[in-house]
Amino acid sequence: MCWSATADLVAGTAVAAIGAGCVVRARRARDLPLAALPLLLGAHQIIESAVWRADGGTGPATVAWAVIALPLLALWVPFGVMCAAPAHARRRLAVPLAAGAATSAALAYSLATRQVTAEIRGHTLGYVLDLPRPGLLVAGYLLATVGSLLLSGDRILTWLGVLVAGGAAVCAALWRLEFISTWCAFAAVCSLVLLGWSGRTDRRPIASGRATP
């Protein structure tokens, strides 16, 4: 999320361009789901520019934004990490992947049976969706996304997990204050990290000095 329709459109286009670079630079077919993540994040921000222009509400852009942010990312991130991870880390990654699948299913059901509304709050957009057991869903979401990166067994992805955890906390705090939304800048930084990751040929697992298979 950015602080205006124009900022979202510009940032989303830039992030999507980085995503295209990630896909082109990917050295292995199994890296493609994670390499394509910035493409999804860029599209997400471009969609939000339409939410801004509609002054929030419950229209198709709001629903599309929520579908990407909630069920899709909850499953996409752990699946992409599982595909790209070194062999020794894949067994433990089954836990965040399972959490992502369960969380994604619950969020998809909520979106199908409840109305999501976007509200302009100062320089931010707020999204309102009545979720059952929100604490449990948030825990599952964080385990699926941040947890999968931290457990990836890949040094760059692990550091990306640390960055995501810390950056998300800062962005969320600023958003709650309705001061300004910084998610778009955060998405750009994470996408640049993935750009560097996608082109590396000398990736090494955390547990050993051997190149990843």
Cβ–Cβ < 8 Å for 100, 148: yes
Cβ–Cβ < 8 Å for 12, 183: no
Q: Looking at residue 187, what is its pLDDT? A: 82
Whether the predicted pLDDT of 96 surpasses 60:
yes
Euclidean distance between CA atoms 204 and 210, whole angstroms: 6
Whether the predicted pLDDT of 173 surpasses 80:
no
Q: Looking at residue 172, what is its pLDDT? A: 60
Euclidean distance between CA atoms 90 and 111, whole angstroms: 30
Q: At 57, phi and psi to the nearest 5?
A: 90, -160
Whether the predicted pLDDT of 200 surpasses 90:
no
- Across the chain, mean pLDDT equals 87
Instruction: Specify the length of the chain in residues.
Output: 213
- Please compute the mean of the pLDDT values over residues 52-59 and round it to a whole number: 94
- Please compute the mean of the pLDDT values over residues 112-117 and round it to a whole number: 96
- Among 53-67, 102-116, 197-211, the range scoring the smallest mean pLDDT is 197-211
Q: Looking at residue 207, what is its pLDDT? A: 46
- Please compute the mean of the pLDDT values over residues 50-70 and round it to a whole number: 95
159 burial type by CB count under 10 A (0-12 exposed, 13-18 middle, 19+ buried): middle
**C-alpha distances in Å from residue 80, one per residue of 3, 75, 122, 123, 176:** 29, 9, 35, 32, 30
- Among 147-161, 170-184, 190-204, the range scoring the smallest mean pLDDT is 170-184
Band of residue 179 on the pLDDT scale cut at 50, 70, 90: very low
Tokens of 105: 């299913």
How many other β-carbons are positioned within 10 Å of the β-carbon of residue 138? Answer: 12
Q: Looking at residue 196, what is its pLDDT? A: 93
- Please compute the mean of the pLDDT values over residues 157-171 and round it to a whole number: 83
